[in-house]
Amino acid sequence: MKRYTIALCMIFSLIFLTGCFGSSDDAAETQLENFSVYKAPTFSISVPQQWQTIEPKDFSRDIPQETQIIFRDHIQNDIFTANANVTKRILTQPISSVEYGKSMVNENKESLLNFKEISRDEEFNIAIGGQMQKTLLVMFEGKENESEPTIRIVQTYAVNGSDAYTVTAAYRTDASELQVEEAKNIVKSFKVT
């Protein structure tokens, strides 16, 4: 079941595009209560303190190479466990974070069954190299195939030079309000250093 959860999380992060909420520069600047900051060489992100961190050295072979880090809720579920991840792709030509996000939304629409965009914030700002940059924050839902549950996704994007990051949090559509807020806060806290 762990492998299924991680694989589905990765599929969603690579296939899906952004889900959206209100923009808040404060979310990126403030330490969230009951969250801890995970720092990588090129980015940082806040996650609930009780969530498990899965680093690349512990990835199974089915995790895409683009995956930088995975986080998983400590409350396991047989159907789907809430999770989050950061992926990085290398771009071959310059593109803005907004344009990269829009292209990913189109990929998600074509890849997911029952794709439904719930919200989109095209004025969301993310910290990249100490500067605030406009990007997308999108919330959507869908599923990979008919036998799987519908999953809700929150995503944002950050392009820094040729590095294109996708930040994804995924949870069941019947998740608690706490899980929904945790997912939003995880994605909104992402910073490129």
Q: Tens of pLDDT along 92-146?
A: 999 999 999 999 999 999 999 999 999 999 999 999 999 999 999 999 999 988 9
Percent of all residues in the chain with a pLDDT value above 70, rounded to a whole number: 84
Superfamily of domain 2-192: Mog1/PsbP, alpha/beta/alpha sandwich (3.40.1000.10)
Per DSSP bridges, beta strands 151-160 and 83-90 are unpaired
Query: Whole-prediction pTM value?
Result: 0.82
User: Where are the domains positioned within the chain?
Assistant: 2-192
Q: What is the pLDDT of residues 57-90, one digit of tens each?
A: 999 999 999 999 999 998 888 889 999 999 999 9
